[in-house]
Structure formats: structure tokens, C-alpha cells
Amino acid sequence: MSQYPSLTRALAEALVDLAWFVESADDDHMDQDDAVKALEGVAAVVDRLSDSQREEFQQVIEAMTEAETDPGRREFLEAFPDGFGLVE
């Protein structure tokens, strides 16, 4: 049995995890040009979401934020909607 209540939740968490990894990687572990390309890719996915998909994604981000115990990751989650164009 999956730990995720839906495919949407699983994919949203994977997308956020990717962005968190890239955002938190230092210059020694990731080329900054590659990091920018990856983060632009995440933003492009978010940009192509319909209004209802944006709302659903926002709800998932809010739930993830509430459940997060790591202060750095929680801060990242709080900034995610604005930083990746989820809210306008």
C-alpha cells in the first residue's frame, strides 16, 4: 500500500523534492547553470497548470508545509508557491 493518498500528492512531493534538492545543492555538487535549468523546468510545469490544478497543488503544498518538521525545508515550502509561480 502506498504512503500517498493520491497520485497527485506523490507527484507533487516528487516535484518539490527535486526543486528542494536543486535549490539546496552547493556549487561543488551541482553546476549552477544546470541548477537554473532544472528550476526553470519546475517553474514551467507549474506555469502550464490549469487554475484547478494550481489550487490542488497549492493545497498539497500547504499540507506538506504543515507536516514539515525541518525548519529549512519548511521555509522552502512556505516560499515555494510564490517562488515557482503557483500564485500570481
pTM for the complete prediction? 0.83
pLDDT score, position 79? 94
pLDDT score, position 1? 64
Residues 86 and 80: beta-carbon distance below 8 Å: yes
Q: Which sequence spans correspond to the domains of the chain? A: 7-25+32-83
pLDDT score, position 24? 87
Task: With CA atoms as reference, report the closest residue to 83 among 34, 48, 27, 39.
Answer: 39
**Tens-digit pLDDT string for the chain (88 aa):** 668 778 888 899 899 999 999 888 888 888 889 888 998 988 899 899 999 999 999 999 999 999 999 999 999 999 999 988 888 7
